[in-house]
DNA sequence: TGACTTATCTATCAATCGATACATAAATAA
DNA sequence: TTATTTATGTATCGATTGATAGATAAGTCA
């Protein structure tokens, strides 16, 4: 029952591609400083097409946030959850943070969500809930693995999973902050091993 | 030789007060979203007076950054440097960060410099150098006290001062991020003692 | 085919943007 | 007093803002 053929003239652009282009524009200049002219240039779609496909500027912005939270923003956590040992997990998380905030091709430095928190929470309706959710989910997923490793005996019984999850999260915020301010990946990786030991108390 | 009487009509506003009002406006809405209309309303000065006293919008912005870096931004470090013991210093630093990012009267949540890094580095000329300097100075001042305490025998000889200085700095970034995203001071102080132990390895 | 639906582009809207010209006000200097 | 200097307020500049109207293009459906 899945109709592949839709009524009316078909789109000439890829929706996902256009969304990523819009996200990069917002990420680079910030929400307010990104004009519709910037967006049409980045997305390679004319103004009215943007409004027809994504709604107004604010709605487009919220859609880029949702997309980022589902794709790029998740990469470090996926690395964390997929690693074999808990030590590799922490190391992989931080390494992924560094590479994503400094070497991501085509994307600006730092973290899109961090930019959103800094400038549009409380100013653009709909952002605050999304940011709170992003923080909560990251803390929860990190803590979940710590708890699992505790039950497996790979971490001490009194290991404070919640605290260390938040700590790891905050290390990320520090890294994306430094990255955005111009720090190279090399410098960011300088104290990587010290941080891994900190988080795991080893 | 200090002439208190200046030529011409005297100013009817306090320069420092006006700068703080401008800073709060930029901090709340971000650089781009803050219009001259917003600024005249916040500073209670007409447009031409702003231009005469502070230059254009960008110059005014840079002056608010310099002011913040000298005043508010410094508070946690002053607390850190002034505490009696190194443990109280770390505790005082983090406590000051929380109170300044959540309870500062009249000021928006979070950290002004964090907002600047997120949105105007690379976009507004003159911001990048200031942000790099702010990070460097914080790292240096934190590490300096760790080094001093090492020489006094209050910290182990192999204590990694630089790493822990950066760690403490990044804990701050995490806190101002969460604060801006809506976290209360109470929640932020939840894992305070765990973090003090982390930084000092005790 | 012709009716219908959706997408695209050009042109353009009123509103707001950052910034300034100009006249006036309030001080000092001679 | 008059000349000079600096600050203030009104009114307004051209440019840009986010958003839309209307005509046209390209597909499906009967």
Across the range B5-26, mean pLDDT stands at: 91
Query: Which band of pLDDT confidence, cut at 50, 70 and 90, is reported for residue B121?
Result: very high
Task: Pick the range with the lowest mean pLDDT from A61-70, A167-176, B14-23, B98-107.
Answer: B98-107
Distance from CA of A92 to the nearest CA of B (A): 18
Asked if residues B130 and B69 have their Cβ atoms less than 8 Å apart, the reply is yes
Burial of A101 (0-12, 13-18, 19+ CB in 10 A): buried
Q: What is the mean pLDDT of chain A?
A: 93
Across the range B43-56, mean pLDDT stands at: 94
**Residues 101-120 of chain A whose Cβ lies under 8 A from any Cβ of chain B:** 108-110, 114-115, 117-120
SS3 sequence of A13-24: CCHHHHHHHHHH
Residues 6+ apart with CB under 8 A from A163: B190, B191, B194, B195
Task: Pick the range with the lowest mean pLDDT from A1-10, A80-89, B16-25, B66-75.
Answer: A1-10
Report the protein residue whose CA lies nearest the C1' of nucleotide C19.
B56
**Residue B182 φ/ψ, nearest 5 degrees:** 115, 0
Q: What is the mean pLDDT of chain B?
A: 93
Q: Which residue of B has its CA nearest to A34?
A: B32
Across the range B108-124, mean pLDDT stands at: 93
Across the range A9-38, mean pLDDT stands at: 94
The answer to whether A45 CB is within 7 Å of strand C is yes
B169–A contact, CB cutoff 8 A: yes
**Residues 14-53 of chain A whose Cβ lies under 8 A from any Cβ of chain B:** 28-33
Closest residue by Cα to residue B197 from A150, A170, A142, A201: A201
Rounded to whole angstroms, the Cα distance separating A168 from A174 reads 10
pLDDT of residue B108 exceeding 60, the answer is yes
What's residue A72's pLDDT? 76
> What are the boundaries of each domain within chain B?
15-68, 76-200
Closest residue by Cα to residue B137 from B164, B165, B118, B158: B165
Query: Which band of pLDDT confidence, cut at 50, 70 and 90, is reported for residue B4?
Result: low
What's residue B151's pLDDT? 97
Q: Kindly report, residue by residue over A128-144, the tens digit of the pLDDT.
A: 999 999 999 999 999 99
Q: Which residue of B has its CA nearest to A30?
A: B119
Nearest-by-Cβ selection for A198 from B132, B135, B167: B167
Nearest-by-Cβ selection for B173 from A30, A177, A198: A177
Closest residue by Cα to residue B42 from B65, B63, B19: B19
What's residue B190's pLDDT? 92
Q: Kindly report, residue by residue over A46-73, the tens digit of the pLDDT.
A: 989 999 999 999 999 999 999 998 887 7
pLDDT of residue A74 exceeding 90, the answer is no
Q: Kindly report, residue by residue over B166-181, the tens digit of the pLDDT.
A: 999 999 999 999 999 9
The answer to whether A7 CB is within 7 Å of strand C is yes
Second CATH level (architecture) for the domain B15-68? Orthogonal Bundle (1.10)
Query: Which band of pLDDT confidence, cut at 50, 70 and 90, is reported for residue B1?
Result: very low
Query: Which band of pLDDT confidence, cut at 50, 70 and 90, is reported for residue B186?
Result: very high
CATH of B76-200 given 1.10.238.10, 1.10.357.10, 3.40.50.1000, 3.40.50.1970: 1.10.357.10
Residues 6+ apart with CB under 8 A from B76: B92, B93, B94, B96, B97, B100, B172
Residues in B closer than 8 angstroms to A159, CB to CB, are none
Task: Pick the range with the lowest mean pLDDT from A70-79, A107-116, B162-171, B187-196.
Answer: A70-79
Nearest-by-Cβ selection for A170 from B108, B128, B171: B171
DSSP string computed for chain B: ------SSSPPSS-HHHHHHHHHHHHHHH-TTT--HHHHHHHHT--HHHHHHHH-SHHHHHHHHHHHHHHTGGGHHHHHHHH-SSHHHHHHHHHHHHHHHHHS-TTSPSS-HHHHHHHHTTTTSTTHHHHHHHHHHHHHHHHHHHHHHHHHTTSS-TT--HHHHHHHHHHHHHHHHHHHHTT--HHHHTTTHHHHHHHHHT-
Within 7 A of a protein CB, which nucleotides of strand C? 4-11, 16-22, 25-29
Same CATH topology for A15-68 and A75-200: the answer is no
Q: What is the dotted CATH code of the domain comprising A75-200?
A: 1.10.357.10
What's residue A129's pLDDT? 96
Q: What is the DSSP letter of A155?
A: S
**Residue B2 φ/ψ, nearest 5 degrees:** -90, 105
Closest residue by Cα to residue B127 from B53, B61, B29: B61
Distance from CA of B48 to the nearest CA of A (A): 23
A123–B contact, CB cutoff 8 A: yes
**Residues 136-165 of chain B whose Cβ lies under 8 A from any Cβ of chain A:** 160, 162-163
Residues 5-24 of B with CB under 7 A from strand D: 6-13
Neighbours of A96 (CB within 10 A): 18
Residues in A closer than 8 angstroms to B138, CB to CB, are none
A24 Cα distance to chain centroid: 12
For residue A171, what are its two tokens? 């290390």
Higher pLDDT, B76 or A202: B76
DSSP string computed for A85-118: SHHHHHHHHHHHHHHHHHS-TTSPSS-HHHHHHH
Share of chain A above pLDDT 90, in %: 87
Across the range B68-82, mean pLDDT stands at: 89
Across the range B116-137, mean pLDDT stands at: 95
Q: Which residue carries 């789109």 as its tokens?
A: A11
């Amino acid at each position: 029952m899945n109709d592949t053929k839709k009524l009316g003239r078909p789109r000439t652009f890829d929706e996902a591609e256009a969304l990523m282009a819009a996200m990069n524009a917002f990420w680079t200049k910030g929400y307010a400083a990104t004009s519709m002219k910037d967006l049409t240039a980045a997305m390679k779609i004319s103004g009215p097409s943007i409004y027809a496909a994504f709604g107004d500027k604010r709605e487009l912005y919220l859609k880029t946030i949702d997309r980022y939270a589902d794709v790029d923003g998740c990469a470090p956590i996926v690395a964390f959850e997929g690693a074999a040992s808990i030590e590799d997990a922490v190391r992989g998380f931080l390494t992924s943070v560094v590479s994503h905030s400094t070497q991501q091709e085509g994307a600006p430095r730092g973290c899109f969500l961090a930019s959103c928190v800094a400038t549009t929470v409380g100013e653009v309706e709909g952002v605050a809930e999304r940011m709170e959710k992003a923080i909560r989910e990251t803390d929860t997923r990190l803590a979940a693995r710590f708890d699992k490793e505790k039950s497996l005996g790979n971490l001490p019984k009194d290991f404070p999973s919640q605290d260390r999850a938040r700590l790891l999260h905050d290390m990320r915020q520090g890294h994306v902050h430094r990255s955005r301010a111009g720090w190279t990946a090399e410098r960011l990786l300088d104290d990587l091993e010290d941080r891994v030991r900190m988080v795991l108390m080893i």
